Amino acid sequence: MDFLITINFILAAVFFICYSYQFFYIPAAILKKEPPHKEEKRHRFAVLICARNEEKVIGNLIKSIKDQTYGSENIRIFVMADNCTDETARTARLSGAVVYKREDTKRIGKGYALDALLRHISEDYPKNYFDGFFVFDADNVLDENYISEMNKTFSDGYDIITGYRNSKNYGDNWISAGYSLWFLRESKYLNQARFLLKSSCAVSGTGFFFSKRILEKCSGWPFHLLTEDIEFTVHNVISGEKVGYCKNAVLYDEQPVLFRQSWRQRMRWAKGYLQVFKKYGKDLIKGVLKGDFSCFDMTMAIMPAVVISTLCAVINTASSVMTLIAGGSILPVLLSVGESLFNVYLTLFAVGAITTATEWKMIHTTPVKKIFYVFTFPLFMLTYIPISLAALFMKVEWKPIEHNIKTTVAELKRSA
C-alpha cells in the first residue's frame, strides 16, 4: 500500500511539473494586452472544405462564407466531396462552391482529401493566384467578420493562424458541453496566452489558415496521420514557424452527443498523438534541449498526459488484482485511487469554472446549463483515461461522424 501511495505521488508530481506552467497562461490571457495591428493588406483566399456525406450542413457553412464582410471577390470556395454517397457535391455546387470529387477507399482521412484538393487547385489556377488558404469542416459556420479578422493577423506577418473555436450545440448534453468547454479553454487559455507571450499556438482540427509560402515549404499537404492538424502544427514548429492566433475570428462547429461517437473520435485523437510523437518526438526533444519553449509546449500537448494517465490506470489496476490474490483488503487501494481522482476532478473543475466565467457571453445556452456543465466537465475529461489506455493497444482508423445541426450564426447569437 505504501508503495502504491509513493508511485501515485510521484506520478502526480511529474504531472504537476509537466503542466504547472499552464497555470501562468491564465493571468497572461486575462491581463496582457494585444499589440496593435500593422497596416492591413488585401489578400486573395481559397477556402478548403473536405466533406464526406455532409449534405445536411454544408450549405450553411458556404452561406456563412458568402456572408463575410470581407470582399467576396477575394474569396473562392472549394469543396472536396470525399467518398460521398449522398448529395454533398450537388448541394455544395448549388450553394456556389467549386466542387471536386474523390473516390479512394484505401487512403482514407481528411489529410488525404486536403492533399488531393490542393493538387486540383494547383492544376486549375495559376501558381500565385491565392495568397492563403482556410481550412474548415463542413459542419462549421463562421461569424461574419471571421475572414476580415484573420486577414488582419495575416497582414501582421503570421503565415499560420488559428481562431476562436466555439460550438453550435453546447447545451445538448454533458458530452457536447465537455468538448465545447475544452475548446473554449484551448482558445482562451492556451492559444491566446501563447500568442500574447510570443510563443507558438497550435492548430486544432478546424478553422485555421496557412499562406502560400507555407504550402510551398511543405510541398503540398503531406500530413496523413490520424491527427493531421497536430502533425501540421508540430512539423511547422520544429522548422521554426510560429502559429498565430486571432481571438476575433470566431467559428462554431458541431460536437458529438453520443458517447460511442465521442469514444471513437477521441480514440483517434489519442492514437494520433502517439503517432505524432513517434514521428516527431526526437526532433521535438532536440528543440527542447536547444531552449525552444514552443517545442516543449507542443511536447507537453501531445505526450505526457497520455503516458501518465495510462501508468496510473495500469499500476492501480495491477495493485488491486495483486491485493485480491494475496487475500488482502482492496479498500486502501480504492481509497488511494479515489483520492487521486478527486484531486484531478477539483483541478479540472477549477479550469472549467474559470473558463465558463470569463467566456460566459460566448457560451450559447441557458445560464443553468452553463453552471451545471462545469460540474460534469471533469467527468468528461476523466473518460480520457480509459480511452488513452485503449489507444495504446487497439488499431484505430479514421471514421466519419454524422452531422445534423443546421443552426446559423444568427440563430446562435439570438440564443445567447
Residue 342's pLDDT is 82
178-224 pLDDT, tens digit per residue, is 999 999 999 999 999 999 999 999 998 899 999 999 999 999 999 99
Residue 61's pLDDT is 97
How many CB atoms are located within 10 Å of the residue 209 CB? 27
Q: pLDDT > 70: what percent of the chain?
A: 88
Residue 225's pLDDT is 94
Residue 161's pLDDT is 98
What mean pLDDT is predicted for residues 90-113? 94
Between CA 93 and CA 101, with CA 98 as vertex, the angle to 5 degrees is 80
3-56 pLDDT, tens digit per residue, is 555 666 666 667 777 788 998 999 999 999 999 999 999 999 999 999 999 999
Taking CA atoms, 254 is separated from 80, 172, 268, 356, 403, in Å, by 20, 10, 17, 19, 7
Confidence of residue 148 (pLDDT cuts 50, 70, 90): very high
Residue 25's pLDDT is 95
Confidence of residue 239 (pLDDT cuts 50, 70, 90): very high
290 residue type, one letter: K
28-42, 79-93, 337-351: least confident range: 337-351
Residue 228's pLDDT is 94
Q: What backbone phi and psi angles, to 5 degrees, belong to 339?
A: -65, -40
Q: Which of 166, 150, 121 minimizes the C-alpha distance to 209?
A: 150
What mean pLDDT is predicted for residues 227-246? 96
Taking CA atoms, 72 is separated from 61, 69, 93, 131, 305, in Å, by 15, 8, 17, 15, 43
Residue 415's pLDDT is 67
pLDDT at 129 over 70: yes
Q: Which of 17, 1, 3 minimizes the C-alpha distance to 308?
A: 17
What mean pLDDT is predicted for residues 85-107? 95
Residue 407's pLDDT is 81
pLDDT at 270 over 80: yes
Q: What is the mean pLDDT of the chain?
A: 90
Could you tell me which residues come within 8 angstroms of residue 292 by beta carbon, excluding any fewer than 6 positions away? Answer: none
Confidence of residue 105 (pLDDT cuts 50, 70, 90): confident
Q: Which of 361, 30, 363 minimizes the C-alpha distance to 193?
A: 30
Show the cell assigned to 25.
Answer: 497562461
pLDDT at 310 over 80: no
Residue showing cell 445567447: 416
What mean pLDDT is predicted for residues 371-398? 89
Residue pair 405/171 in contact by the 8 Å Cβ criterion: no
pLDDT at 2 over 60: no
Residue 392's pLDDT is 78
What mean pLDDT is predicted for residues 232-258? 96
Helices and strands, number each (H, E), in the chain: 17, 8
Residue pair 249/164 in contact by the 8 Å Cβ criterion: yes
Between CA 225 and CA 12, with CA 230 as vertex, the angle to 5 degrees is 110
Q: Spell out the long-range contacts of 340-344 with Cβ–Cβ below 8 A and sequence spacing 24 or more.
A: 340/8, 340/12, 340/312, 341/382, 343/12, 344/378, 344/382
What mean pLDDT is predicted for residues 140-161? 98
Confidence of residue 385 (pLDDT cuts 50, 70, 90): confident
Got the DSSP string for 35-59?
Answer: PPP-------EEEEEEESS-TTTHH
- Strands across the sheet with 208-211, in order? 98-102, 75-82, 45-51, 132-137, 208-211, 160-167, 244-253, 141-142
Residue 280's pLDDT is 95
289 exposure class (CB count in 10 Å sphere: 0-12, 13-18, 19+): exposed
Q: Between 134 and 341, whose confidence is greater?
A: 134
Residue 175's pLDDT is 97
Confidence of residue 328 (pLDDT cuts 50, 70, 90): low
Q: How far apart are CA 59 and CA 168, in angstroms?
A: 15
What mean pLDDT is predicted for residues 360-380? 96
pLDDT at 399 over 90: no
